[in-house]
A = this chain, B = another copy of it.
């Protein structure tokens, strides 16, 4: 029996003891998840201390710890020793960002589409490949890990991005997201911890939650993840890996410089972390790209993809891993995909070897430049104008997350609030992620930016005026 009565204490969560069943820790976790899912417990709510809850429910502390752990691995909670346990932002909500509406009535500045008007280059290439390739060799189980021709193309692609992989360490996957899934399933286990930027790619958050891998948010500055904070968390928690997008990080659009990369590489090496370098925007790198992986080649898993650079529909990405991981990765790819469609891989290889990719990339860089200049006209900043496919726009506080997204939709705009990308504790500042490359034309983008500007100015007036 509990010694004290807790009825007078304000506890943010008071589960009915009668609702518990055996096993206790599973049952408690279920109650907690239910109350988070149905909104009884809002994001960032502080839960009662584990000891208090244990006392209240008349069960052991460890039982509560176990229940909390279950919820944490599903992405419902985050906890900080000494401070407490809190409900995760986005807990129980689907935050993965996918293109479902075929005919959206909105100007699309939410989902990042990669300038799809250039996809006809790829369509032509597929046709060519099908006509020139002798017979059925594209359609059987052969060469599940790629032919010599295909692998040399992948290597050429990587070379252009500054990476020099060996043939035996390079793999094909059905896109970058698929590569992430392969890496997490193959090289990580249930309960492992991976460090990420405090704002990170929401599909990665969902994937990690699904696989019960715990994300540890690390503060960022204008160059991305702060090395000292990563080091600190590595010392404190048993972190096994780190997920980074050094080139135009999604969602913040941050571009890492070499100095930052070196500092991070050092810590990655020191703590023997597995680096997951998602470099899908490397082709937009303003100068020579220096992959973080080249600075810690024993640790880095490097992902390069066709989806943003050339065309998303082909579903081809390249994955280069440290040699010691190659056998596991190849097994992992086989277990998850068997193989990537040879039609797709062969087309990608053909386009690389024939310089078609260079043409497409050049056009995409030009278009990205123009669209960023357009953005600059509406939202000027002192920083150099980037080539990023999306921008990260600071917004005044009173407008908050989903209400703001809804307000924008009323004005015919689709865009995403920074809370969708948040991993840990609430952030002092708010942002909007604005995709610049999803509309078919610059004119449509301009119209969208105009509306956005009006919306924000309108709001500012309301704040300061009243």
Interface residues of A (CB under 8 A from B): 94, 96, 98-100, 102, 111, 113, 116-117, 119-120, 122-123, 126-127, 130-131, 135-136, 138-145, 174-175, 177-178, 181, 185-186, 189-191, 203, 206-207, 210-212, 311-315, 327, 331-332, 334-344
Q: Are A113 and B141 in contact (CB under 8 A)?
A: yes
- Give 6 new A-B contacts, CB below 8 A, not counting A116-B136, A177-B334, A341-B341: A99-B141, A100-B144, A117-B136, A122-B139, A123-B130, A177-B337
**Which residue in chain B gives the minimum CB-CB distance to A127?**
B130
- Picked from B181, B189, B191, B313, the residue with its CB within 8 Å of the CB of A341 is B313
Contacts of A212 in B (CB 8 A): 189-190
- Could you say how many copies of this chain the assembly holds? 2
**Which residue in chain B gives the minimum CB-CB distance to A113?**
B141
**Which residue in chain B gives the minimum CB-CB distance to A148?**
B102
- Picked from B113, B140, B314, B334, the residue with its CB within 8 Å of the CB of A98 is B334
Top 3 nearest A-B pairs (CB, nearest first) are A139-B313, A119-B136, A190-B190
- Picked from B94, B113, B123, B314, the residue with its CB within 8 Å of the CB of A135 is B123
Q: How far is the CA of A344 from the CA of B130 in the complex (A)?
A: 13
Q: Are A336 and B178 in contact (CB under 8 A)?
A: yes
Distance between A67 CB and nearest chain B CB, rounded to angstroms: 15
Contacts of A141 in B (CB 8 A): 98-99, 111, 113, 312-313
Distance between A389 CB and nearest chain B CB, rounded to angstroms: 13
Q: How far is the CA of A181 from the CA of B181 in the complex (A)?
A: 11
Question: What are 25 A-B residue pairs whose CB atoms fall within 8 Å in the complex?
Answer: A94-B327, A100-B144, A113-B141, A120-B135, A123-B138, A123-B139, A126-B130, A126-B343, A130-B130, A139-B313, A141-B313, A174-B174, A174-B341, A178-B337, A181-B185, A181-B335, A181-B337, A186-B210, A190-B212, A203-B335, A206-B331, A206-B335, A210-B331, A314-B341, A341-B343
Contacts of A126 in B (CB 8 A): 130, 343
Q: Are A337 and B175 in contact (CB under 8 A)?
A: yes
Q: Are A312 and B102 in contact (CB under 8 A)?
A: no
- Picked from B111, B123, B190, B210, the residue with its CB within 8 Å of the CB of A136 is B123
Q: How far is the CA of A335 from the CA of B203 in the complex (A)?
A: 7
**Which residue in chain B gives the minimum CB-CB distance to A339?**
B315
Q: How far is the CA of A308 from the CA of B170 in the complex (A)?
A: 28
Q: Are B189 and A335 in contact (CB under 8 A)?
A: no
Q: How far is the CA of A320 from the CA of B100 in the complex (A)?
A: 19
Using known A-B contacts A139-B313, A331-B94, determine if residue A177 contacts B338 with beta carbons closer than 8 Å. yes
Contacts of A120 in B (CB 8 A): 135-136
Q: Are A140 and B116 in contact (CB under 8 A)?
A: yes
